[in-house]
Amino acid sequence: MKISLINSVVLPPREIFTESNATEFIKKYHKIKPIKYKAFVLADKIVLYKQKHKLSTYSKLCIHYSEVKYIFTSSVISTSGCFVLCIDSQVDNQCRYELYRINDPISYNSFLETLKYVIGVKTPLQSDNINNDYLLYHSIAYKSDTLKTTRKSSSQDESESLFNFEPSKSNHAYSQ
């Protein structure tokens, strides 16, 4: 299946995943020229493979299902085929939004159905409870590990919104 990575943005330490931020992320970045990959859906992860270049511009070549916390889509027609994966990576201690596009509607629908099934997407009511638990967990973890954490904000004011931050450092193609 062909999939395109449009953008990846690291969240500041206290920012939580929200549907409104994900929707704004789609609206803001959906017109950026994407990096095209072939996606291989495996039992425990999605592997991204770029045929034309030996070195990938995106250093994270797989997405482990255990790291995907939420999937958000937009109902706006101009952003059809776009979706945001909310990734909470335990490997590099970063939370980020990753915007992808699948142009083929059949592949798009089957991919999202498969991904939702594999990660066990919750209903909106359950998602609100999870967001509260997520916020509580990350605020406690942030307070207890302030000196040890490797998650860094790209801004001096950590209270700023996600959209005042630059794209992920792992995605060099989008540095502006």
Per-residue model confidence as pLDDT tens digits over 98-152 = 999 999 999 999 999 988 888 885 444 444 444 455 455 545 544 444 444 444 4
Which one, of 152, 125, 131, 137, lies nearest residue 10 by Cα?
A: 152
DSSP state of 61: -
The residue with tokens 């291989």 is 40
Domains of the chain: 2-174 (2.30.29.30)
- Which is it for strands 62-64 and 45-49: parallel, antiparallel or unpaired? antiparallel
Per-residue model confidence as pLDDT tens digits over 72-82 = 988 776 678 89
pLDDT at 90: 80
Chain mean pLDDT for the chain: 72
| pTM across the whole model | 0.65
Per-residue model confidence as pLDDT tens digits over 84-95 = 999 998 888 889
- Which amino acid type is present at position 121? V
C-beta separation of 119 from 46 below 8 A: no
